[in-house]
Amino acid sequence: MRKLTIILMLLVAVSFADVLFDQGYDGTCDDGWGSSDSYRLADDFVLANPGRLESIEWWSFYYLGTIGSDYNLRIYDDNGGEPGTILWEVTATPVDTDTGDDYLERDLYHPGVTLDAADYFTLESGTTYWLSTYWTSKWFYWACWSSGNMMDSENDGPWSDVDHEAMFRLSGTNNGSTVEETTWGQIKAL
């Protein structure tokens, strides 16, 4: 019984990331918008509560079925309703999972990146940001719905509204959330 109590306490002590923003796949998809190193997409988001970004997930289709690696992830500030200055940028290789769903005879994938602590980024509440993700070597299609204010830019040129909404989820730690450390001595004393 004592071992079970210790195991349960350890499980409770594990901190799971909070969802900071969720515009993720809901079982429906009505489009995919192409992105590459020279053709970038960005979609806006606003957090209800401030938080520290620790992981990013998105949903995508791959050109010719080739699974991606080395994605460039960026967060821009808002410049009058379009992406402005790059505030944060990292290149990462996601863990890629086939959802089992298809769209236009292509597999729908769910890439996700857990950031290194050095790459965490603090986001304020009530502020408009823009998330951009692109594969640094080939085309992929960011899964989306055909209504929204996603933007695209070719070769870092002007941004254009593509009237879509990209699928993504941001997770991390909500400011104000606390995790109390427990020592082995405290666990043994139970």
Q: Are 42 and 131 in contact (CB under 8 A)?
A: yes
In the chain, domain spans? 17-175
> For residue 77, what are its two tokens?
């500030």
| Among the listed residues 116, 119, 30, 43, the one whose alpha carbon sits nearest the alpha carbon of residue 78 | 43
| 3 three-class SS | helix
Type of residue at 94: P
Closest CA to 99 of 42, 29, 186: 29
What does the pLDDT average to over 87-113? Answer: 89
Out of 3.30.70, 2.60.120, 2.60.40, 3.40.50, which CATH number does the structure's domain 17-175 have? 2.60.120
**Contact between 173 and 51 (Cβ < 8 Å):** yes
User: Residue for token digits 């900071």?
Assistant: 20
For residue range 17-73, list pLDDT tens digits in order. Answer: 899 999 998 888 777 777 777 788 999 999 999 999 999 999 988 766 666 678 889
Task: State the average pLDDT over residues 85-92.
Answer: 96
Instruction: Give this prediction's pTM.
Output: 0.80
